Chain A
C-alpha cells in the first residue's frame, strides 16, 4: 500500500542552485528577462545568468527597496525583471515597495527569497527568513512558490518567469538538502503533489521539510501508521482540492515548514480547513521565536523540524481524531 522506494536522495544540493540554473535556462529563451543584483549575486545563484548575459544584469548595490521599484518600472515596460537576495531582505525589508509598486500595479516581477529558513545556520537570526511566507502570501495578486529541492526549484523558477503573469515570490535555501524529485514530475503552479499514499494521517509539507516528511512517513509505516504526504510547492494559490480530499480521506493533518508556525503553510491550510472540512491539525515549524547560530542539522533538531518531530506530531494528531 505504500510505495516505499519511490523517492531516494540522489545528492545533497542547496536549492539555490536550482534557482540559478532555472534563471539561466529561462534567460536563454527570452531576451526580455533582466536580473537585478544587490551585491550578493553569487551567493543567491544569479551569477550564472550575470556571467552569461552581462548586458541584461543590473547591479544596484545594497539597496533592496530601490531594486524592487526599479523592477516595477521594468515590468511596466514589457521586461521580466528577476530580483533575488536573502529572503529577509527581498521579502521583508522591501515589503511596502512590493505591496504598492509591484502588487497594487499587478506587475510581473519575480522576487527570489534566498537563504530561507533556519538552515542558513551559523549566520544567525538576522539572516534566517522565517516570516517571509506569511508576509508575501497576504499581499493581493502575489503568487508564492516554495519548492522542495534543487530540481524542483529550477522548475519553479522557470514557471515563475514563464507561467505566472503577476507578482511572484520564489523561496529557496542555502543548506545542501536531499535532491530527490525528478524533472519528469513537472511543476504546475497551484497544483500540489501527492508523494505518498496513506489513510491514517496527512502530512502537508513545503520546502525541504517535504523530504523530512517522507522520512517520517516511512518511520510511521514501521508502526503500522500510513501517512499520505503532500508536497505543497505553491503556497498561494493553495491547492484546495487536494487538501480537502486528504482531510476527508485521513481525518487528521500535520503541516511541516521551515518557517514560523504562524502565518505560513500551516496557517494557510488551517484557514481553508476550518471553513470547509475541520479536522484536527498539528503544526511543525518555528515556535514564534528567533533562531540562533548553529549548524543546520543542530538547528532543525533544536527547533523541532526533523522527521522524528513529524512522527510525534502525526501520532498526536491521530489521537485527536
Chain B
C-alpha cells in the first residue's frame, strides 16, 4: 500500500497524530512527549507517503522495514500505526498500562501488529538496520530499510560501528534519519557532548548526507525521494526538528523530553495545536 496523499491530507494526519500522542501520554501519566511531537511530521510522511506497507498484512515479506532505534518515542510510532490502520485508535489509550500491547518502549513479545523491533536501549537500531539491509541485498529484494535515530543517541559508540559497516557493505537500501533537535535530557547536545561537525562525521564514514526541515512535509518527502536515487552508499537525513513541535509553550524545552502532560495540560496543549494548525 502506498498512498500519494496530498500535502493537506498529510498535514491533517500529522495533526491527528500529535493529538493522539498528547492524549495517550496524558492517559498513561508518563512517557516522552517532546521527541514524540517533534517526530510527528516525519512519521506521518513515512507511514502515509514513503513506506511501501500494508496494514492488512503486517508480516508481508516485501514490506519496507521501519526500524525505530529510539524506543522512547514509541507514542508517535503507535499513533502512526493506529492511524494507518494496524490496530484500533482507541487502543492508544492503553499506552504503558498493564497487559497493553503498547509498551513504554516497544516490545514485540506483546504482539503489536506493524511493530518491527523491540527497542529502547540506545545505539542498537542502526546495527539491526544494517543486518536487515544486508539480508535484503542477499535475497535481491527491492524493499528498503528506514531507521530513525535521535541526535543524543549518536553519542553511543556503537552507532559509529554500525555506520562504518553500512558504508563498507554499500547499503544503498538503507536510509537513516537523525532527529536533530539539539536537545537531550541533561540539556543541549552541544553542552552534554558536542556532536558537530555532524554532517562531516557521516560523510567521512562514507554516507551520503541530506538535510531537511523535519517539519516541512514537502521537504521530508523530497529528502526521502532523493535518498532513493543514491547508489552504492547508505544515506542519512539530518532532519532539523523542534522538540515539542506544535505546542508553542513547550517547544525546544528539554524538560519536556521525558515528561507526560496531565489531563488538564493535555487539553491546553491540544488547544495550542489547534490554534497553530
Contacts and interface: CB of A to CB of B under 8 A. Distances in A.
A53 to B, nearest CB: 12
A76 B109 contact: no
Given A65-B158, A66-B162, A73-B135, A104 B128 contact: no
A108 to B, nearest CB: 13
A74 B165 contact: no
A4 interface: no
A96 B162 contact: no
Contacts of A253: none
Number of chain B interface residues as a range:
20 to 34
A100 B132 contact: no
A74 B134 contact: yes
B126 A69 contact: yes
B121 A73 contact: no
B165 A72 contact: no
Given A63-B165, A76-B116, A79-B138, A101 B127 contact: yes
A105 B126 contact: no
A75 B123 CA distance: 18
Interface in A60-107: 60-61, 63, 65-66, 68-79, 81, 96-97, 99-101, 104-106
A251 B49 CA distance: 68
A180 interface: no
Nearest to B130: A70
B111 to A, nearest CB: 12
Contacts of A58: 134, 169
Contact of A77 (B126, B132, B169): B132
Contacts of B134: 58, 70, 73-74
A33 to B, nearest CB: 12
A81 B127 CA distance: 14
Contacts of A97: 121, 124, 127, 158
B128 A72 contact: yes
A104 B118 contact: yes
B195 interface: no
B55 interface: no
Contacts of A65: 123-124, 127, 158, 161
B108 interface: yes
B46 interface: no
Interface string B159-179: 001101100010000000000
A63 B67 CA distance: 21
A104 B161 contact: no
Contacts of B116: 76
A172 to B, nearest CB: 24
A105 B117 contact: yes
A99 B131 CA distance: 17
Contacts of B123: 65
B17 interface: no
Given A70-B130, A78-B135, 6 more contacts: A70-B131, A73-B67, A76-B132, A79-B135, A97-B121, A97-B127
18 contacts: A58-B134, A58-B169, A60-B161, A65-B124, A66-B130, A69-B125, A69-B162, A70-B130, A70-B131, A70-B162, A71-B131, A73-B67, A73-B128, A76-B131, A79-B135, A97-B127, A99-B121, A100-B119
Nearest 9 Cβ contacts at the A-B interface: A73-B131, A69-B127, A77-B135, A70-B131, A66-B161, A63-B161, A73-B132, A73-B128, A74-B131
